A and B are shown apart, each in its own frame.
Chain A
Amino acid sequence: TQLLEQSPQFLSIQEGENLTVYCNSSSVFSSLQWYRQEPGEGPVLLVTVVTGGEVKKLKRLTFQFGDARKDSSLHITAAQPGDTGLYLCAQRTGGFKTIFGAGTRLFVKA
């Protein structure tokens, strides 16, 4: 079973700081999705990356897909309290299953 490893597990930072979280696998991804989950809610899709080396931006969030398609990163610039949440990476396999990482729990202090 393919596993997605996310790091760090927990991150607590001050408002205005930058941060990067990672998602890694021993196998090649066909594509990778990033979700954010806020307390009391289900995950919400942020982005899907498909091509090796691809970079996508969503306001202050930058998503990168590794050249070998075995890793991905999410960088947040000037974090705000509204960025607080659980960030999950996920891969939808060809066998109709979706695998999620355990997530990075981010807390941004005002």
Chain B
Amino acid sequence: EAQVTQNPRYLITVTGKKLTVTCSQNMNHEYMSWYRQDPGLGLRQIYYSMNVEVTDKGDVPEGYKVSRKEKRNFPLILESPSPNQTSLYFCASSFTETLANEKLFFGSGTQLSVL
């Protein structure tokens, strides 16, 4: 089954404790992206990747890191989480980014709480 898999689904942590949220897709997609979703603000893009070893900042990259060492995986790293990073996070992928009407496939989300 074609899917984007995120782990964990729920995570509670404390300020400053490094964490990684994993994302994996099995569709051989070139493009992957991370979003955070906050009430009233919709989905905001954190980072995206056009292909292996090619990443770039989205609209809200501060406090986050990403890597794309393999095509299928795109982990999101919070080196020193803070309470304002409490949010619902989504990973998404598509075959390519060059077509404006390309469909995005989303994972089921990771609810992160930073105390």
Interface residues of chain A, those whose CB is within 8 Å of chain B, are: 1, 4, 9, 30-31, 33, 35, 40-45, 48, 50, 88, 90-94, 96-103
Distance in angstroms between the alpha carbons of A7 and B92 in the assembled complex: 25
Contacting residue for A97 out of B42, B58, B101, CB 8 A: B58
Q: What separation, in Å, do the CA atoms of A33 and B108 have in the docked complex?
A: 19
CB distance from B94 to the nearest CB of A (A): 9
Contact with A along B76-115 (1 / 0, CB 8 A): 0000000000000010100001001111101111000000
Please name 6 further chain A to chain B contacts, defined as beta carbons within 8 Å, in addition to the given A92-B102, A96-B56, A96-B97, sorted by A numbering.
A1-B59, A42-B107, A48-B101, A48-B103, A96-B48, A98-B33
> Is B108 a contact partner of A41 (Cβ separation < 8 A)?
yes
Range of interface residues on B (Cβ < 8 Å): 20 to 34
Closest beta carbon of chain A to B55's beta carbon, Å: 10
Is B41 in the interface zone, CB < 8 Å from A?
A: yes
Instruction: Choose from A45, A50, A100 the contact partner of B42 (Cβ within 8 Å).
Output: A100
Does B50 lie at the interface of the complex (its beta carbon under 8 Å from any beta carbon of A)? yes
The verdict on B19 contacting chain A, using a C-beta distance below 8 Å, is no
Tell me whether B43 is interfacial, beta carbon within 8 Å: yes
With both beta carbons as reference points, the residue of chain B lying nearest to A96 in the complex is identified as: B97
Would you call A92 and B48 a contact (CB within 8 A)? no
Residues of B within 8 A of A1 (CB): 59
Closest 9 CB pairs of A and B: A42-B106, A102-B42, A100-B43, A48-B101, A100-B42, A31-B100, A45-B103, A96-B97, A30-B100
Q: In the complex, what distance in Å separates the CA atom of A10 from the CA atom of B31?
A: 32
B contact residues vs A (CB 8 Å cutoff): 4, 31, 33, 35, 40-45, 48, 50, 56, 58-59, 90, 92, 97, 100-104, 106-109
Q: Which of B50, B92, B100, B102 has the most CB of A within 10 A?
A: B100
Contact A98 B104 (CB under 8 A): yes
Q: Which chain B positions have C-beta within 8 A of A100?
A: 35, 42-44
A7 to B3, CA, bound (A): 31
What's the least CB distance linking A42 to chain B, in Å? Answer: 3
* Residue of chain A at shortest CB distance from B91: A42
Distance in angstroms from B47 CB to nearest chain A CB is: 10
